[in-house]
Amino acid sequence: MARYLLTAGPTMEAIDPVRFLSNRSSGQMGYALAAALVARGHEVCLVSGPVNLSTPEGVTRLDVESALEMLAACEAEWPSCNGVFGVAAVADYRPRAVSEAKLKRQAGEDLVLEMTPNPDILATLALGKGSRLAVGFALETHNAEQEARRKMSAKNLDYLVLNGVEAQGAEASAVELFSQQGSRHPLGPMPKARLASALLDLILGPNNTSSHA
């Protein structure tokens, strides 16, 4: 039995006390993986952005909103985990400053929002992972395979799951699993719960233990 850290859902980046920037991630794939890991007898610490999903039984869930909060929660849990699945759709940028007061409309004037890059949570964890398992997800519209392989090595991942755009918010999905060793495995289309289980069969192997520590 191992303990896995899993990020899921979107992040929510505040603009002012009432507005934010976010994305369309529903969190379904991450939650399905969390449930599938528990079903295999593993412990799961799920660091979740705002989603409309109930916590799978047996999963420890930490709710966060922004990428910075997600990173802090993950860094606190990572030392006690054997591997990480980065399924969250982390916002690439956040507003440089969060206005304390609600922004007012200025008639006829453009509003320019300055954005600053968010840290890469999965890369931050995986670059210092040692022999622990790190799995990422990516959604690419162009040069998908090349981008998948580039991200896998830039972030020091053992596996990368490539999603099609149609996966967003959908019940079912088709993916390709790339491994650092060079393998490529298409899966689906199938419901996300079955897909989660099929991915774990390939990643954790028939003995349900990754070859990573």
Residue among 35 and 162 whose Cβ is closer to ligand C5P: 162
Q: Least Å distance between CB 109 and ligand C5P?
A: 31
- Beta carbon of residue 204, minimum distance to ligand C5P (angstroms, whole number): 17
Q: How far is the CB of 18 from ligand C5P (least distance, A)?
A: 24
Q: What's the start-to-end Cα distance of the chain, in Å?
A: 11
In 3D space, the residue among 188, 213, 207, 183 whose CA is nearest the CA of residue 199 turns out to be 188
Residue 144 contacts residue 162 (beta carbons within 8 Å): yes
Detail the DSSP E strand segments found in 9-77: 13-14, 20-21, 43-48, 60-63
33 or 193: whose CB is closer to ligand C5P?
33
In the set 23, 118, 156, 163, the catalytic residue is 23
Per the structure block, which two tokens stand in for 213? 């520590």
Nearer to ligand C5P, 1 or 140 (CB): 140
User: Residue 90 or 204: which CB sits closer to ligand C5P?
Assistant: 90
User: Residue 157 phi/psi, 5° resolution?
Assistant: -95, 150
Pairwise CA distance, residues 213 & 207, whole Å: 14
Shortest gap between Cβ of 138 and ligand C5P (angstroms)? 4
The residue ranges that bind ligand C5P (CB under 6 A) are 7, 67, 86-88, 90, 118, 120-122, 136-138, 151
Q: Please say if 23 is a catalytic residue.
A: yes
Active-site amino acid positions: 23
